[in-house]
Amino acid sequence: MWGYLALLPICLAVGAIAGVWTVYCGSFPPQSCIFGQLLNVGAAMVAWICVLRYLQLREWGVPKLPNQLCLGTGFLCALGASIVGNFQQTNEVSTHRFGSFLAFVAGVAYFWTQLILLHLTKPQAQPGAPWIEPLRLLLCGACTVLMVTMMVLQLWSLRSAAAACEWSITMLLFALFGLLAVDFSHLSGFVIGLQSRPASGPQDAAHLSSL
Protein backbone atom coordinates (compact mmCIF):
# COMPACT_ATOMS: atom_id res chain seq x y z
CA MET A 1 0.00 0.00 0.00
CA TRP A 2 1.33 3.40 -0.99
CA GLY A 3 2.19 5.96 1.68
CA TYR A 4 0.68 9.42 1.75
CA LEU A 5 3.95 11.08 0.71
CA ALA A 6 3.58 9.52 -2.73
CA LEU A 7 0.79 12.05 -3.28
CA LEU A 8 3.26 14.93 -3.17
CA PRO A 9 4.96 14.29 -6.55
CA ILE A 10 1.60 13.36 -8.08
CA CYS A 11 0.00 16.60 -6.89
CA LEU A 12 2.97 18.59 -8.19
CA ALA A 13 2.88 16.99 -11.63
CA VAL A 14 -0.89 16.99 -12.14
CA GLY A 15 -1.53 20.35 -10.51
CA ALA A 16 1.35 22.15 -12.23
CA ILE A 17 0.57 20.79 -15.70
CA ALA A 18 -3.13 21.58 -15.36
CA GLY A 19 -2.43 24.99 -13.86
CA VAL A 20 0.15 26.02 -16.43
CA TRP A 21 -2.14 25.14 -19.32
CA THR A 22 -5.10 26.85 -17.64
CA VAL A 23 -3.26 30.19 -17.42
CA TYR A 24 -1.35 29.78 -20.71
CA CYS A 25 0.22 33.13 -21.79
CA GLY A 26 0.04 34.39 -18.24
CA SER A 27 1.95 37.61 -18.82
CA PHE A 28 -0.92 39.96 -17.93
CA PRO A 29 -3.20 40.24 -14.87
CA PRO A 30 -5.06 38.34 -13.57
CA GLN A 31 -3.45 35.36 -15.34
CA SER A 32 0.05 36.54 -14.41
CA CYS A 33 -0.92 36.64 -10.72
CA ILE A 34 -2.30 33.09 -10.84
CA PHE A 35 0.71 31.94 -12.86
CA GLY A 36 3.12 33.43 -10.32
CA GLN A 37 1.29 31.86 -7.39
CA LEU A 38 1.22 28.45 -9.09
CA LEU A 39 4.95 28.52 -9.71
CA ASN A 40 5.71 29.70 -6.18
CA VAL A 41 3.69 26.85 -4.70
CA GLY A 42 5.25 24.46 -7.21
CA ALA A 43 8.74 25.66 -6.28
CA ALA A 44 8.03 25.02 -2.59
CA MET A 45 6.78 21.52 -3.43
CA VAL A 46 9.89 20.85 -5.54
CA ALA A 47 12.12 21.86 -2.63
CA TRP A 48 10.15 19.59 -0.28
CA ILE A 49 10.41 16.68 -2.71
CA CYS A 50 14.16 17.24 -3.09
CA VAL A 51 14.66 17.06 0.68
CA LEU A 52 12.69 13.81 0.92
CA ARG A 53 14.62 12.39 -2.00
CA TYR A 54 17.89 13.38 -0.36
CA LEU A 55 16.93 11.47 2.79
CA GLN A 56 15.85 8.49 0.75
CA LEU A 57 19.05 8.36 -1.32
CA ARG A 58 21.05 8.76 1.89
CA GLU A 59 19.27 5.75 3.35
CA TRP A 60 19.98 3.77 0.17
CA GLY A 61 23.71 4.29 0.59
CA VAL A 62 24.36 7.13 -1.85
CA PRO A 63 27.55 8.99 -0.73
CA LYS A 64 26.95 12.23 1.09
CA LEU A 65 28.80 14.67 -1.21
CA PRO A 66 27.18 13.66 -4.53
CA ASN A 67 23.84 13.40 -2.74
CA GLN A 68 24.24 16.97 -1.49
CA LEU A 69 25.20 18.04 -5.01
CA CYS A 70 22.00 16.47 -6.28
CA LEU A 71 20.01 18.25 -3.57
CA GLY A 72 21.60 21.56 -4.51
CA THR A 73 20.63 21.23 -8.17
CA GLY A 74 17.07 20.49 -7.08
CA PHE A 75 16.98 23.66 -4.98
CA LEU A 76 18.32 25.65 -7.95
CA CYS A 77 15.52 24.25 -10.09
CA ALA A 78 12.98 25.39 -7.50
CA LEU A 79 14.60 28.83 -7.35
CA GLY A 80 14.48 29.15 -11.13
CA ALA A 81 10.79 28.26 -11.19
CA SER A 82 10.07 30.89 -8.54
CA ILE A 83 11.98 33.52 -10.54
CA VAL A 84 9.97 32.68 -13.66
CA GLY A 85 6.72 33.08 -11.76
CA ASN A 86 7.62 36.42 -10.18
CA PHE A 87 9.33 38.09 -13.16
CA GLN A 88 6.97 37.88 -16.12
CA GLN A 89 8.41 38.14 -19.60
CA THR A 90 6.54 41.36 -20.40
CA ASN A 91 7.90 43.09 -17.28
CA GLU A 92 11.46 41.79 -16.88
CA VAL A 93 12.45 39.67 -19.86
CA SER A 94 16.13 39.13 -18.96
CA THR A 95 15.36 37.95 -15.42
CA HIS A 96 12.51 35.78 -16.72
CA ARG A 97 14.82 34.08 -19.20
CA PHE A 98 17.49 33.60 -16.56
CA GLY A 99 14.94 31.90 -14.31
CA SER A 100 13.81 29.64 -17.15
CA PHE A 101 17.40 28.73 -17.99
CA LEU A 102 18.19 28.01 -14.35
CA ALA A 103 15.07 25.91 -13.84
CA PHE A 104 15.64 23.86 -17.00
CA VAL A 105 19.39 23.30 -16.65
CA ALA A 106 19.24 22.57 -12.92
CA GLY A 107 16.12 20.41 -13.30
CA VAL A 108 17.63 18.26 -16.04
CA ALA A 109 20.92 18.04 -14.12
CA TYR A 110 18.98 16.97 -11.00
CA PHE A 111 17.46 13.95 -12.70
CA TRP A 112 20.60 13.01 -14.62
CA THR A 113 22.52 13.06 -11.33
CA GLN A 114 19.96 10.76 -9.73
CA LEU A 115 20.13 8.31 -12.62
CA ILE A 116 23.91 8.17 -12.40
CA LEU A 117 23.95 7.77 -8.61
CA LEU A 118 21.30 5.04 -8.64
CA HIS A 119 23.12 3.23 -11.45
CA LEU A 120 26.36 3.28 -9.47
CA THR A 121 24.91 2.29 -6.09
CA LYS A 122 22.15 -0.07 -7.33
CA PRO A 123 20.09 0.02 -4.10
CA GLN A 124 18.15 -3.15 -3.36
CA ALA A 125 15.34 -1.19 -1.71
CA GLN A 126 14.46 0.82 -4.82
CA PRO A 127 10.77 0.23 -5.63
CA GLY A 128 9.09 0.26 -9.00
CA ALA A 129 8.79 -1.83 -12.15
CA PRO A 130 11.89 -2.51 -14.30
CA TRP A 131 10.67 -0.08 -16.97
CA ILE A 132 10.72 2.93 -14.65
CA GLU A 133 14.46 3.56 -15.00
CA PRO A 134 14.47 3.32 -18.84
CA LEU A 135 11.50 5.68 -18.91
CA ARG A 136 13.37 8.20 -16.77
CA LEU A 137 16.39 7.83 -19.03
CA LEU A 138 14.19 8.49 -22.08
CA LEU A 139 12.60 11.57 -20.50
CA CYS A 140 15.97 12.97 -19.39
CA GLY A 141 17.38 12.43 -22.88
CA ALA A 142 14.37 14.14 -24.46
CA CYS A 143 14.74 17.10 -22.08
CA THR A 144 18.41 17.45 -22.98
CA VAL A 145 17.75 17.33 -26.74
CA LEU A 146 14.89 19.81 -26.44
CA MET A 147 16.99 22.17 -24.31
CA VAL A 148 19.82 22.24 -26.85
CA THR A 149 17.29 22.68 -29.67
CA MET A 150 15.63 25.54 -27.79
CA MET A 151 18.94 27.38 -27.43
CA VAL A 152 19.74 26.95 -31.13
CA LEU A 153 16.30 28.19 -32.14
CA GLN A 154 16.70 31.21 -29.89
CA LEU A 155 19.98 32.06 -31.61
CA TRP A 156 18.22 31.77 -34.98
CA SER A 157 15.43 34.07 -33.70
CA LEU A 158 12.83 31.32 -34.22
CA ARG A 159 11.07 32.22 -31.00
CA SER A 160 7.78 30.42 -31.62
CA ALA A 161 9.57 27.12 -32.18
CA ALA A 162 11.83 27.81 -29.18
CA ALA A 163 8.76 28.48 -27.03
CA ALA A 164 7.29 25.13 -28.10
CA CYS A 165 10.49 23.42 -26.94
CA GLU A 166 10.34 25.34 -23.67
CA TRP A 167 6.80 24.16 -22.93
CA SER A 168 7.72 20.60 -23.87
CA ILE A 169 10.65 20.64 -21.44
CA THR A 170 8.35 21.99 -18.72
CA MET A 171 5.88 19.15 -19.20
CA LEU A 172 8.63 16.50 -19.24
CA LEU A 173 10.23 17.84 -16.05
CA PHE A 174 6.88 17.77 -14.27
CA ALA A 175 6.45 14.19 -15.48
CA LEU A 176 9.87 13.27 -14.06
CA PHE A 177 8.90 14.73 -10.71
CA GLY A 178 5.62 12.84 -10.88
CA LEU A 179 7.46 9.55 -11.37
CA LEU A 180 9.07 10.02 -7.96
CA ALA A 181 5.72 8.91 -6.55
CA VAL A 182 6.88 5.37 -7.29
CA ASP A 183 9.97 5.86 -5.12
CA PHE A 184 7.94 7.60 -2.40
CA SER A 185 5.35 4.81 -2.32
CA HIS A 186 6.64 3.45 1.02
CA LEU A 187 8.31 6.60 2.28
CA SER A 188 5.96 7.59 5.10
CA GLY A 189 7.22 4.98 7.56
CA PHE A 190 10.82 5.69 6.58
CA VAL A 191 10.54 9.42 7.31
CA ILE A 192 8.69 8.84 10.58
CA GLY A 193 11.41 6.39 11.57
CA LEU A 194 14.13 8.93 10.87
CA GLN A 195 12.35 11.55 12.95
CA SER A 196 11.40 9.39 15.93
CA ARG A 197 14.08 6.69 16.16
CA PRO A 198 16.28 7.32 19.21
CA ALA A 199 20.00 7.14 18.75
CA SER A 200 21.15 3.88 20.31
CA GLY A 201 24.79 4.82 20.33
CA PRO A 202 27.43 7.24 19.09
CA GLN A 203 27.33 5.80 15.58
CA ASP A 204 23.57 6.18 15.28
CA ALA A 205 23.70 9.68 16.70
CA ALA A 206 26.39 10.67 14.21
CA HIS A 207 24.34 9.11 11.39
CA LEU A 208 21.19 11.07 12.29
CA SER A 209 23.08 14.33 12.73
CA SER A 210 24.71 13.91 9.33
CA LEU A 211 21.28 13.88 7.65
Mind giving me the DSSP string for 131-188? THHHHHHHHHHHHHHHHHHHHHHHHTT-HHHHHHHHHHHHHHHHHHHHHHHHHGGGHH
Residue 204 lies in a domain: no
Residue 208 binned pLDDT confidence (cut-offs 50, 70, 90): very low
pLDDT of residue 24: 63
Q: Is the pLDDT of residue 140 over 50?
A: yes
The closest alpha carbon to 79, from 56, 58, 95, 65, belongs to 95
Specify the higher pLDDT residue, 128 or 28.
128
Specify if 10 maps to a domain.
Answer: yes
In a domain, residue 79? The reply is: yes
Q: What pLDDT, on the 0 to 100 scale, is given for residue 192?
A: 45
Residue 210 falls inside a structural domain: no
pLDDT at residue 209 tops 50 = no
The pLDDT, as a whole number, for residue 4 is 82
Mean pLDDT of 109-122: 94
Number of domains in the chain: 1
**Structural domain includes residue 78:** yes
59 within some domain? yes
The pLDDT value recorded for residue 200 is 44
Residue 202's pLDDT is what? 44
Is residue 198 situated within a structural domain?
Answer: no
Q: Which domain holds residue 120?
A: 4-192
Instruction: State residue 27's pLDDT score.
Output: 66
Residue 66, burial from CB neighbour count under 10 angstroms (0-12, 13-18, 19+): middle
pLDDT of residue 206: 46
Q: Is residue 21 part of a domain?
A: yes
Average pLDDT over residues 119-136: 88
Weakest mean pLDDT among 9-23, 70-84, 110-124: 9-23
Q: Which residues contact 150 (CB under 8 A, 6 or more apart)?
A: 162, 165, 166, 169
* Residue 195: pLDDT over 70: no
Residues 6+ apart with CB under 8 A from 87: 95, 96, 99
pLDDT of 187: 75
